Amino acid sequence: MLENYFSPKVIALAGAAEARLHESFARFERVSEANTAKVLAAFRAERVSEACFAGSTGYGYDDLGRATLERVYARAFGAESALVRLGFVNGTHAIASALFAACQPGKTLLAATGSPYDTLLETISGGHGSLRFYGVGYREVALKFGGSSEVEHDLVGEPNLPEIKRAAASNDVCAVLIQRSRGYSPRRALSVPDIGEIITAVRSVNPAAVIVVDNCYGEFTGLEEPTQVGADLIAGSLIKNPGGGLAPTGGYVAGKAQLVERAAERLTVPGIGGECGASLGLNRSFFQGFFMAPHAVCQALKTAAFAAAMLESLGLETSPAPDAERNDIIQTVRFGTKEKLLRFCAGLQRGAPVDSFVTPEPWAMPGYSDEVVMAAGAFIQGSSIELSCDGPMREPFWGYMQGGLTYEAGKIGVMTAVEELLSK
């Protein structure tokens, strides 16, 4: 019984939160069921078998499992082709490969949803090896802000469609980047229909532009993926949604076949592309993780909604609201002070199955402009489909919570964090 682990106040807050969320939980489960059917159909159509789980070594030529897995991803995501590789060290690496596939020297990359996630900035405008180094220009369209974040945070940070059309119409724009999730910015996550509207706006003025979607944190939160509404490429991390908590590393790129092969040539080298790349015995984990992914995402969404309801009852601003539509697995909380953010992260860490005895401290993580605190007692290092929370050390001290492989464990982790908040 949870009464053996938590105070009566936290038990009461949790009960009230769950009572509020019955309809939201049912909605998440319907989406999970539909996406599970889609993934199962892809497994059957591509004839996944025990032989696919054998790994390859060395060059990795003729890897049946790797090739079959990539066809499964492509079919499930409504794409022509996919590249699913352990050689991608994170989502940023996969997205960068997609951007290099889309861009041309002397042309310009347009970011349609404001400044990209912090770790992509060096890829775009950094030094040696960046897009800028190879002669690719960069512009961005700022988000359109309206409303008050004190009233409803999700009213701010909308894509500015008229300005996107104006900017995309320029003859030098060869590629457009759309970030589905919010990153560390005050905006809502985009639904696939939202992304479709941006794509339609770009295509109306620049049909040749390659449209790349940073799909991190968004896979399987809805019934479609951006490739099904016209995106040329999508990319993400396997230790987020599509790995289902079982993939130990890796990333993917999916979309138009020619562009996916260009991304493969960025991951390896021109002339080799996707032909090489040993799977090293990980095929089983990749297949099983993708099979589990719709369910794992559902558990993460339920955990996020529960956390929002609990924290809102304490007077904290949350986005999305507890019973709002969700288009990624991230739950943001405005803590207002560094102390509250650190206490919540410490509590979440204490409620984790791994490294529960350590206290997360802010540090200068590679690729970030501010120190970042990260609570992540995960089986896979840095896995954000597992319950975790991070945030930059800058006002107003937003925390970004995500993941939860099972709702039961996610709920307990959140309750532990709330106990920590209430203890001082």
Q: Is the pLDDT of residue 214 over 90?
A: yes
| Per-residue pLDDT tens over the stretch 241-278 | 999 999 999 999 999 999 999 999 999 999 999 999 99
**Single-letter residue type at 221:** T
CA distances 410 to 311, 314, 380, 385, Å, are 14, 19, 16, 11
Considering the entire predicted model, what is its pTM? 0.95
HEC string of 154-220 equals HHCCECCHHHHHHHHCCCCEEEEEEECCCCCCCCCCCCHHHHHHHHHHHHHHCCCCEEEEECCCCCC
Q: What is the pLDDT of residue 155?
A: 45
Q: Is the pLDDT of residue 148 over 70?
A: no
So where are the chain's domains? 2-36+291-422, 52-290
Tell me which DSSP letter residue 144 carries: B
Which stretch of DSSP H or E encloses residue 91? Answer: helix 91-102
Q: What is the pLDDT of residue 182?
A: 87
Give the position of tokens 């699913």.
84
How large is the greatest C-alpha to C-alpha distance in the chain, in angstroms?
65
| Per-residue pLDDT tens over the stretch 69-116 | 999 999 999 999 999 999 999 999 999 999 999 999 999 999 999 999
2 compared with 424, residue with greater pLDDT = 2
Q: Is the pLDDT of residue 153 over 90?
A: no
The CA R_g of the chain, rounded to the nearest whole Å, is: 21
Q: What is the pLDDT of residue 333?
A: 96
The domain defined by 2-36+291-422 folds into: Aspartate Aminotransferase, domain 1 (3.90.1150)
Task: Taking the CA atoms of 414, 389, 183 and 261 in sequence, report the sign of the dihedral they define.
Answer: negative
Average pLDDT for the chain = 95
In this prediction, residues 154-160 reach a mean pLDDT of 73
- Residue 199 banded pLDDT, cuts 50, 70, 90: very high
- Collapsing DSSP states into helix, strand and coil, what is residue 17? helix
Instruction: Please state, for a pLDDT cut of 90, what percent of the chain lies above it.
Output: 91
Encoding tokens for residue 325?
A: 């539509």
| Per-residue pLDDT tens over the stretch 352-393 | 999 999 999 998 877 677 899 999 999 999 999 999 999 999
The domain defined by 52-290 folds into: Aspartate Aminotransferase; domain 2 (3.40.640)
Q: What is the pLDDT of residue 156?
A: 63
Rounded Cα–Cα distance for residues 188 and 64 (Å): 40
